[in-house]
Amino acid sequence: MVKDSASLRNELRRIDGAGYKAYKGIRGEYRFPSYTLTIDHIQGDPFASPSRIRVLFPIKNALFPEEFLDSNLKQIALSDFIGRKFKRGIYQFGRGIRGTGRGGLIWIEAGGQKILARSSVVIVGGNIEVRFRVGLPARGRRILGQEAISIFFTELPRIISFALIYDKREYNYIKNFVELFVDVAFLRDMLSEKGLVSFIGNDSLLPRKSGVSDLPLSRDEAVLFKSPESLKVEFSLPSGKRICGMGIPKGVTLIVGGGFHGKSTLLRAIELGIYTHIPGDGREYVVTDPRAVKIRAEDGRNIEKVDISSFINNLPMGRPTIDFTTTFASGSTSQAANIAEAMEIGTRVLLIDEDTSATNFMIRDFRMQKLVKKEKEPITPFLDRVRELYEKYEISTVLVLGGSGDYLDKADTVIMMDEYFPRDVTDKAKNIVNLYPLNRDIEPINPLKNPMSRIPLSSGFNFLKGRKIKIDNKGEDIIVIGQETIELDKVEQIVDHTQTKAIAYIIYYLVKSGIINNYRTMKEVMDIIDVTLEKDGIDIFSPFSYPIGDMSSVRKYEVAAAINRLRTLKIKQKEVI
Ligand code: ADP
Ligand code: MG
């Protein structure tokens, strides 16, 4: 039942000075003059994670022009924009932490360099719905009722009207923001059709402020990207804009060049081109096939029955590699597993940087062939698979490589970074290949094959049994579910802790709803996530009886990566019929 906001005010007055538990009584829905406020969850004490609140604001009263709302994509972008504004509103109109613990804190998940489909602001059922957290104030364990009244009746109403009511002075900014998101989504869809795996717009600013920052390097320090003539492509975008830049064609592409010339920076931008960046980021028009997966070595990870036999075979002591299992992978086995797992889910582009690769996985040169006989080397280097991957399975590779010329024979396109400028050196590379033929034995290898399909068994998720499971994430990199921890620090295309949280809840959902059922393969399970996200939206993954604001959308590759790193995972390989 919806109560009047006056009853919230009265109740907060009444419980002023009472024990913290008395806050439990304010759960419920309240009608404010221009919105409905729902208090879904009350924290147990002032130090606990803040209470969950929602505001439902009728979209027609928000007065945003229809042109910002008339497609799903636009609504995602507008929602992201509103979340950012809400966050600014908190700083502007919130009075901050007061009393004990986190009392007075108002928090929304928003911001960052990427435009994400977040659950903190969604447009549904004729409302803009905002989900955020409030630390209910107390002194010690005694309720500060007047402070709560200030939050609900002064601070929040100001924040809400600041963030949710259209300000026509922002027309151009919002138009640009929304159009960018639509344009880039279009561009991303077009890539494959145009024979490309990635596009880097001219004048993009790729380098970041530092190794730990996602913010752009300042304009006077950065060299702006400029496509070589031969790789130039141009697109007309839905907004009417035309954009010109470098297209990376399907096939095998090498990014070569001297150390410190910007190779890794370019690859990193390509990896993140599966996301759309905000205006001013510098990477707005760096766009990559959404099926692109970063592959790296990750020694120490857990591997459960992954068919890495195309890359590694005849391990010492006859250890099988068709269902390779280890609690502590080596550099090469981990890199092989990362590829096999990405292939299993349907990747079409592998992104690899020599900086984070296992050398013995990548190359095996002539002299080493002489010293270590093929029978003694379990590894078929990536060098001997990269063409087959493309020719047999249409899986392209973009590879950063400064140290080995052996790959020149395999490349369709060779881009050299030269003082941060890309140059097309494909022809030059071909000449070198002709002049200096590869001095390397052709070693007999089995044909590349698709890795065996794997069925995740529900017994691997027994830790989800029991009544109260704590599901949490620590930043982007760690999921904690009950006793189990999943480490994702080497899964480099996860960019926000709200994605990590979403992955944790998705895993819980997959098990609880019986989608992981001892019959479905990993690929089938992941495809259900995609369909579910499309059909029901991310809210369906909330483990609570109410929607929450701390998730954002995530690809099936990253969800699979998390499941694959679970140390209790149990797999049955599917019989090939
Ligand atoms: P490489 O992988 O070729 O060794 P990196 O991509 O790591 O080189 O770049 C080396 C350094 O140059 C980094 O500090 C990076 O931020 C900086 N850098 C990269 N691209 C640019 C650019 N376009 N303009 C200015 N600095 C850049
Ligand atoms: Mg590098």
Chain segment 304-327, per-residue pLDDT in tens: 999 999 999 988 888 889 999 999
Q: What is the DSSP string of 335-381?
A: HHHHHHHHHHHT--EEEEEGGGS-HHHH---HHHHHHS-GGG--B--
| Residue 293 tokens, joined | 């997966």
- Show Cβ contacts of residue 217 under 8 Å, excluding neighbours closer than 6 positions: 205, 207, 208, 209
Cβ of 222 below 6 Å from ligand 1: yes
| Residue 162 tokens, joined | 């600041």
The overall pTM is greater than 0.95: yes
Which helix (H) or strand (E) is 235 found in, with range?
strand 232-236
| Ligand 1 atom, smallest distance to 258 CA | 3
Least confident of 359-373, 437-451, 479-493: 437-451
Cβ of 265 below 6 Å from ligand 1: yes
Ion ligand 2 — residues with CB under 5 Å?
264, 355
- Show Cβ contacts of residue 263 under 8 Å, excluding neighbours closer than 6 positions: 255, 256, 257, 353, 400, 402, 417
Q: Report the separation in Å between the CA atom of 421 and the middle of ligand 2, taken as the mean of its atom positions.
A: 15
Per-residue pLDDT at 576: 67
Chain segment 79-93, per-residue pLDDT in tens: 999 999 999 999 999
Cβ of 264 below 6 Å from ligand 1: yes
Helix axes 72-93, 171-193, angle to 10 degrees: 140
Whether residue 128 is predicted with pLDDT greater than 70 in this model: the reply is yes
Q: Which runs of consecutive H residues, i.e. helices, occur in 453-521? A: 497-512
Residue 51 neighbours by CB distance under 10 Å: 20
Which residue has the CA at smallest separation from atom 19 of ligand 1?
A: 262
- Name the more confident of 175 and 474: 175
Q: Report the separation in Å between the CA atom of 2 and the middle of ligand 2, taken as the mean of its atom positions.
A: 58
Cβ of 216 below 6 Å from ligand 1: no
Instruction: Tell me the percentage of the chain whose pLDDT exceeds 70.
Output: 99
Residue 473 pLDDT grade (very low, low, confident, very high; cuts 50, 70, 90): confident
| Ligand 1 atom, smallest distance to 417 CA | 3
Per-residue pLDDT at 371: 95
Residue 46 neighbours by CB distance under 10 Å: 25
Burial of 217 (0-12, 13-18, 19+ CB in 10 A): middle
Whether residue 466 is predicted with pLDDT greater than 80 in this model: the reply is no
Residue-level length of the chain:
577
Cβ of 335 below 6 Å from ligand 1: no
Per-residue pLDDT at 403: 87
Chain segment 139-173, per-residue pLDDT in tens: 999 999 999 999 999 999 999 999 999 999 999 99
Residue 577 pLDDT grade (very low, low, confident, very high; cuts 50, 70, 90): low
Cβ of 268 below 6 Å from ligand 1: no
Q: Report CA Rg, the chain.
A: 26
The phi and psi torsions of 330 (rounded to 5 degrees) equal: -85, 175
Helix axes 522-536, 497-512, angle to 10 degrees: 110
Q: Report the separation in Å between the CA atom of 206 and the middle of ligand 1, taken as the mean of its atom positions.
A: 9
Average pLDDT of the chain? 96
Task: Give yes or no for a contact between 411 and 387, defined as CB atoms under 8 angstroms apart.
Answer: no
Distance CA 25, CA 7 (A): 11
Distance CA 375, CA 262 (A): 39
Distance CA 239, CA 284 (A): 14
Instruction: Using most ligand atoms within 8 A of CB, pick from 260, 267, 354, 421 the residue to mutate for ligand 1.
Output: 260
| Number of helices followed by number of strands (H, E) in the chain | 15, 28
| Ligand 1 atom, smallest distance to 267 CA | 6
Distance CA 447, CA 442 (A): 14
Q: What is the DSSP string of 41-62?
A: E--SSTTSSPEEEEEEEEHHHH
Task: Give yes or no for a contact between 17 and 142, defined as CB atoms under 8 angstroms apart.
Answer: yes
Sign of the Cα pseudo-torsion (370, 373, 377, 381, in order)? positive
The phi and psi torsions of 479 (rounded to 5 degrees) equal: -110, 135
Chain segment 385-417, per-residue pLDDT in tens: 999 999 999 999 999 998 889 999 999 999 999
Distance CA 287, CA 275 (A): 8
Q: Report the separation in Å between the CA atom of 553 and the middle of ligand 2, taken as the mean of its atom positions.
A: 29
Per-residue pLDDT at 546: 97
> Which ligand lies nearest the alpha carbon of 209?
1
Chain centroid, CA 24 distance in Å: 36
Cβ of 215 below 6 Å from ligand 1: no
Cβ of 207 below 6 Å from ligand 1: yes
Q: Report the separation in Å between the CA atom of 402 and the middle of ligand 2, taken as the mean of its atom positions.
A: 8
Q: Report the separation in Å between the CA atom of 567 and the middle of ligand 2, taken as the mean of its atom positions.
A: 31
Which residue has the CA at smallest separation from atom 4 of ligand 1?
A: 260
- Of 425, 421, 426, give the one whose Cα is nearest residue 227: 421
Cβ of 356 below 6 Å from ligand 1: no
Instruction: Using most ligand atoms within 8 A of CB, pick from 212, 214, 265 the residue to mutate for ligand 1.
Output: 265
| Ligand 1 atom, smallest distance to 205 CA | 23
Distance CA 369, CA 412 (A): 25
- Over residues 333-341, mean pLDDT: 98
Which residue has the CA at smallest separation from atom 26 of ligand 1?
A: 222
- As a whole number of angstroms, the longest Cα–Cα distance in the chain is 89
Whether residue 277 is predicted with pLDDT greater than 60 in this model: the reply is yes
Per-residue pLDDT at 227: 98
Residue found under tokens 């760690």: 478
Domain ranges of the chain: 2-166, 292-435, 453-574
Per-residue pLDDT at 139: 97
- Show Cβ contacts of residue 116 under 8 Å, excluding neighbours closer than 6 positions: 80, 275, 496, 498, 499, 552, 553
> Which ligand lies nearest the alpha carbon of 208?
1
Cβ of 273 below 6 Å from ligand 1: no
Residue 19 pLDDT grade (very low, low, confident, very high; cuts 50, 70, 90): very high
Least confident of 78-92, 212-226, 368-382, 384-398: 368-382
Whether residue 352 is predicted with pLDDT greater than 60 in this model: the reply is yes
- Show Cβ contacts of residue 10 under 8 Å, excluding neighbours closer than 6 positions: none
Whether residue 510 is predicted with pLDDT greater than 90 in this model: the reply is yes
Q: Report the separation in Å between the CA atom of 176 and the middle of ligand 1, taken as the mean of its atom positions.
A: 29
In degrees, rounded to 5, the angle at the alpha carbon of residue 168 between the alpha carbons of residues 165 and 169 is 120
Task: Give yes or no for a contact between 306 and 338, defined as CB atoms under 8 angstroms apart.
Answer: no
Q: Report the separation in Å between the CA atom of 309 and the middle of ligand 2, taken as the mean of its atom positions.
A: 29
Distance CA 550, CA 543 (A): 12
> Which ligand lies nearest the alpha carbon of 212?
1
Which residue has the CA at smallest separation from atom 23 of ligand 1?
A: 223
Measure the N-to-C terminal CA separation of the chain; round to a whole number of Å.
57
Task: Give yes or no for a contact between 325 and 454, defined as CB atoms under 8 angstroms apart.
Answer: no
Residue 552 pLDDT grade (very low, low, confident, very high; cuts 50, 70, 90): very high
> For 407, which DSSP code?
G
Cβ of 259 below 6 Å from ligand 1: yes
Per-residue pLDDT at 483: 87
Burial of 534 (0-12, 13-18, 19+ CB in 10 A): exposed
Q: Which runs of consecutive H residues, i.e. helices, occur in 51-141? A: 59-62, 72-93
